[in-house]
Structure 1
Amino acid sequence: MPTPIKMPALSPTMEEGTLAKWLVKEGDQVSAGDIMAEIETDKATMEFEAVDEGTIVAIDVPEGTEGVKVGTVIATLAGEDEDPEETRAAAGSDAASEDTNEGESKDAAPADSPAGADGDEAPASGNGGNGAATSARRDPAKAPPVPRADGERVIASPLARRIAEQKGIDLSSVTGSGPNGRIVKADVEQAESAAPAAAAPSAAREAPAPAAPQQQGEFGAPYEEVKLNNVRKVIARRLTEAKQSIPHIYLTVDVRLDALLKLRGELNASLEADGVKLSVNDLLIKALARALQRVPQCNVSFQGDALHQYQRQDISVAVAAPSGLITPIVTDAGRKGLAQISTEMKELAGKAREGKLQPHEYQGGTASLSNLGMFGTKQFDAVINPPQAMILAVGAGEKRPHVLDGALGVATMMTATGSFDHRAIDGVDGAQLMDAFRQLVENPMGLLV
């Protein structure tokens, strides 16, 4: 029996996704663990692996399809003991037989009976009802709908698809004679014989379309509409909810970086042989984790009538990925050494930019760190990432006038702002955390223990 491959739930909150890209095609053999597709979830674009061995005999959902519900059949796999050719043919003949039987039942039913009016057949695509097809069935004078390739899946039997692929026939140009416009073997063979006569009209159809008129905004400025991907939609929804439902309190400190920069240089010199190069951000991740160890009342989340007090410092770090902002997590950062934090962070950031993070690598976290200093941003207020209760925003390190021991001098300074959920964290607790963070950065030997 062919095995249906269904849209997986790649995250606990995923209800639907976009089939961004197929990495296999009909006729390909796959083994367990092979990457078959890239699926855009509500969090990131992730790879979908095969769990069984066999041959892909049908791809039911084309790449680029949005809003594919979890559990929808997206492809069909023939087992290693099954003949793919026979499976394709059997699938095509079974579908044709079912279509014929259903057609006979409708013909035999009275015109005013439920079967004669609406029909009880399942949609050929297996993905739910089709309103347009239902309308066509109700009006026998209408021709069957022509499958399209511009965003709507071509409805064809597996055998018809295979023949069309072998003959180089574009199924979107074939009119199906089966129920609901389904393309069967006879339609493809007829299209092949009519191909020479249709060559000229086809060439005319392929002429470049005139450029669409440029759209004008409400103030007259021209614009191009960019459709939001799933990740950007989730970011928009979550940040809106965060600002509307979380009472933010902001606390800012100026931190002297000279000692931390000096220690970083010394550590990098000693770790060079190990291939480890610490960034300033690596040390700041450790400093925030150690500060949360010192002020555990800030390592919490608000849960309605209770607080969750976390025993581990899992730091979510904001990373800009092509699909949008995502926050991979350095787990138990308070207990990890700087070299381990640096290695993990480089790996996580690379996977985030490639859209290959696994759910456990970005879901959770007890506090967040956002660093825009590399872009020259001096200071900013970050939005809390719920259900966390705080996020630390750090700006650029820059030379500034600074008074030390009563004398005016120049120091490398950085401005850091903590955003706190005032339902869970009082201002004094937030201030203690910011002071602990400042002390650890200005006296960085505390990051080595």
Structure 2
Amino acid sequence: MSTSAIHAGWSGGDMHGAVTPPIYATSAYAHPDHDSLKELFARRRSGFAYARSGNPTTAVLEQRLTALEGGIGAIAVASGQAATTIALCALLEPGSHVVASALLYGGTTEFLDDTLADLAVTTTTVDPWDLDAWERAITPSTRVVLVESIANPGAQLVDLDAISAIAHAHDVAVVVDATLSTPALYRAGDHGADVVVHSATKYLCGHGTTIAGIIVDTGRFDPRRCPQRWQRLTTRNRRFGVVFADDYERGASGLLSYARAKYVTDFGTTLPATSAQQILVGIETLDLRMRKISADAATLAGRLHGSAGIARVNHPSIPGRPDAHLVRRDFPHGTSGVFSVDLAGGEEAAAAFCNALELFTLAVNIGDARSLVCHPGTTTHSHLTEPQRRACGVHPGTVRLSIGLEDLEDLSADLERGLAAVEAVAPGTDRAAQEPALLS
């Protein structure tokens, strides 16, 4: 993992012998003759024509993530939201159905519930820990199962092996948002994922400087196995004059070829070369960062567990979690640095806690080198209905923490400041009476 994170996709092969991938700051690419450009647009040869659909710097990032995830191809796009949007649009059509985990990032839930609904795609949400619910929710029109490898904000883990087996028995594609786990902690393709998406803004970048997204085809998905379900890929495309599924015959991803030709181009979700280079630099230290962050997060979660004013700490290491066995089986290197705490005093206590912190930065990002905190109920999940927030594990007193690279004891002392502020606004709150359900 550490070796691929530094070397995959780049061998220093440019004309100047650059050690790190250079930034190709160009909007278009010159060609030697008419036929060269004609062949490129006819998809009879590979290369670059216009930067909206590809760039050499971005291509290195795509090759690196392909290697890290053990896949057959990747597309880098302008944001994590763009990655989810394009991956789903490439697999769905009007009348399709999605079965999604109830534990998803708020922006993803909004996309499913609003924008995809506008496109005549329906969604059923299920408790990710209820395997029978996944089976019951799948219908003949289901095309995608969508989960997060580690849920945001409550750090719930899923039995992806079991969920994938259920989905594949019905010829349904499994899409996994692996933003929180990253391939350094968990390779979703090894557990059945067909497509993996990342908000590269988070841990892949690691320093809060750049917005980006990644889509990876793990190589498990092949529309030719059930051509009637995936006719956009298995029949000749009217616009482009090709059968995209034919790309699988040469070891490439027909799904990604279709997604790039149609959706990346039409939506204009181009990742700038400068952004790609910044993500590449971040990935070089991914393995080291994820191990320290995961270890420190588990330590801090353990220290917060049982503290006055806290109804629950939502971290896989806390005793009684139904996903504890998955930590041991699937996450030997840790479960990332994002988790949440449910404060017994509701939003007032959450506000006091956040305002009292001096080292944690109040911001809605995660995966930064600096530790971050926010109140999901009034920020990232604020546009959801109350039942949707409860299903996501977001309550009035829920605070999300993203542990960074600062000294562990400094972070611990800062959290103590936050808890002291909670005690001041909600002294002696009955912890048992305020404790929310694990899943509602």
Query: Do both share a fold (TM > 0.5)?
Result: no
TM-score (norm 1): 0.24
TM-score (norm 2): 0.24
**Going by fraction, where is strand more abundant, 1 or 2?**
1
**Going by fraction, where is helix more abundant, 1 or 2?**
2
CA radius of gyration, larger in: 1
